[in-house]
Amino acid sequence: VTYKFPDNFWWGSAASGPQTEGTYDGDGKGESIWDYWYKKMPDKFFDEVGPADASRFYHTYKEDIQLMKATGHNSYRHSIQWSRLIPDATGAINQTAVAYYNDLLDELLANDIEPFMNLYHFDMPMYLQEKGGWLNRATVDAYVSYARTCFELFGGKVKKWFTHNEPIVPVEGGYLYQFHYPCEVNMKHAVQVGYHEMLASAKAVQAYREMGQDGQIGIILNLTPSYPRDEHNPEDIKASVLADAIFNRSFLDPSIKGEYPPELVALVKELGILPDIHDNDLAVIRDNTIDLLGINYYQPRRVKAKETPVDRERSPMPDDYFDNYEMPGRKMNPHRGWEIYEKGIYDILINVRDNYGNIPCFISENGMGVEGEEKFRNADGVIEDDYRIEFVRDHLKYVHQAIQEGANCLGYHMWTCMDNWSWTNAYKNRYGFISVDIHNQWQRSIKNSGRWFKQVSDNNGFN
């Protein structure tokens, strides 16, 4: 085996509750912002399947777990849906949800698949969003109490917890670029929302330790390594450093170092949009850093000094400070419009090694969204997604190299296990090791990539 990975490497995939489970009569689930928004503004969505179906995992998890086994999973990330466990403002616990999550966890464990559980994957309960969601400090308290409930209920089975998936995304989507509800454009709100998410994360870490739980707790961040157009041009470098502070270090630094990057603090001060910070908050953030970092990597961010004029009439935006740089010749995934730059995954791991104390970490998402995969289905009914094998293999080579050079990377989870419902894009881009035929009783079938991944996992590497 040329590319051999460390013993006990985590091979698996990631998914989320809202993108897979669906909502059913009698399940007791309350509404999240996605259920609400989908009903209210269906035009915003790529309209094939909605969150009420997702991939029907709520009903199919037992069979799906067998498919995880068949594709070499020794671990799998899912998320608890807050609105399923605590469906309304009374705070009462939905016992049907408790039974479901217990069953799901038991089934994973019985199949030797370690469950990694995330507490928040973009899915604010609607009863909290009506009171401002992350903008309202009361949501931080509600979140911590929800987190405690999860640790209490499931901490015996789950040894790897995550406070958030990609906390910068609800900031960008909900308060800057309008691809999550409530679709505002307001940088002051964006800063406050991000701050509350971070505070909630630190407080959940604190609660986890106070409760004497015996696992690890971390956060999952989407890191977009920032590359300047010209690495000798000070203006390009400045723009790139700032983009990195806004989109990566805004959560990376407080989560691991317990403090915000000075560039970011200076920027929000200059704009007069410091968040509302209470006494002791910063001490909580300082003292409750994470055990384990999940890294989602899809694409780099290429940046150049600002050239296009800034519209001063509107609310300030992060991109008042830099322009995106469309580097000639860069490799693109035409389906998702994202650049494919395999070495980015290595650069992140080396950055974590050198600048973040080489904290234990793993690749918690990486993957390739492809439209129209049905056309690659062969006569035996198997989707020949060899482009996905190439994508994963080329990224894994760089992960391997980083590990050889001392990076403390413990696993690789692809996004995703089964094709699933993906926010406003629904089923447009497929990401799974396993295809889901939404027009034919949600039938599952393992793609070539899933077969390949089984071998990789069995051999703990590849040639």
Instruction: Map the footprint of ligand BGP across residues 7-26, applying CB under 6 A.
Output: 16, 19
**Integer CA distances (angstroms), 32 to 27, 213, 225, 251, in order:** 14, 28, 31, 24
Burial category of 409 from C-beta neighbours within 10 Å (exposed 0-12, middle 13-18, buried 19 and up) = buried
Instruction: Decide if 365 is catalytic.
Output: yes
Instruction: Map the footprint of ligand BGP across residues 252-311, applying CB under 6 A.
Output: 296
Residue 425 carries which DSSP code?
G
Choice between 346 and 415, CB closer to ligand BGP: 415
Choice between 94 and 248, CB closer to ligand BGP: 248
Neighbours of 161 (CB within 10 A): 28
With CB under 6 A as the contact rule, the residue among 78, 336, 400, 413 that binds ligand BGP is 336
Provide the mask over 415-454, with x wherever binding to ligand BGP is found by CB under 6 A and - wherever it is not: x------xx-x---x-------------------------
Single out the residue of 385, 430, 394 nearest to residue 412, CA to CA: 394
Dihedral sign computed on CA atoms, order 295, 296, 299, 303: negative
Backbone torsions φ then ψ of 79, nearest 5 degrees: -130, 145
Shortest distance (Å) from residue 461 CB to ligand BGP: 26
| Number of H-type helices and E-type strands within the chain | 16, 19
Six-digit token pair at 68? Answer: 């995880």
Provide the mask over 375-414, with x wherever binding to ligand BGP is found by CB under 6 A and - wherever it is not: ----------------------------------------
Question: Please, which residues bridge with residue 362 across strands?
Answer: 294
Dist. CA 235–CA 243, nearest whole Å? 12
Choice between 142 and 223, CB closer to ligand BGP: 223
**Integer CA distances (angstroms), 139 to 22, 279, 383, in order:** 24, 18, 43
Number of residues that bind ligand BGP (CB under 6 A): 14
Instruction: Map the footprint of ligand BGP across residues 140-199, applying CB under 6 A.
Output: 165-166
Six-digit token pair at 249? Answer: 């270090």
Provide the mask over 202-241, with x wherever binding to ligand BGP is found by CB under 6 A and - wherever it is not: --------------------x-------------------
Choice between 275 and 369, CB closer to ligand BGP: 369
CA dihedral 21, 11, 291, 144 (to 10 degrees): 0
Choice between 163 and 296, CB closer to ligand BGP: 296
Dist. CA 158–CA 145, nearest whole Å? 18
Shortest distance (Å) from residue 39 CB to ligand BGP: 20
Q: Which of 365, 371, 373, 390 is catalytic?
A: 365
Residue nearest to ligand BGP (CB): 422
Single out the residue of 459, 463, 462, 457 nearest to residue 11, CA to CA: 457
Provide the mask over 95-134, with x wherever binding to ligand BGP is found by CB under 6 A and - wherever it is not: ----------------------------------------
Shortest distance (Å) from residue 34 CB to ligand BGP: 11
Choice between 83 and 288, CB closer to ligand BGP: 83
Interface with ligand BGP, residue 5, by CB under 6 A: no
Shortest distance (Å) from residue 166 CB to ligand BGP: 5
Residues 52 and 121: beta-carbon distance below 8 Å: no
Dist. CA 343–CA 398, nearest whole Å? 6
Shortest distance (Å) from residue 16 CB to ligand BGP: 5
Choice between 193 and 285, CB closer to ligand BGP: 193
Q: Which residues are catalytic?
A: 365
Given the rule CB under 6 A, which residues bind ligand BGP?
A: 16, 19, 165-166, 222, 296, 336, 365, 369, 415, 422-423, 425, 429
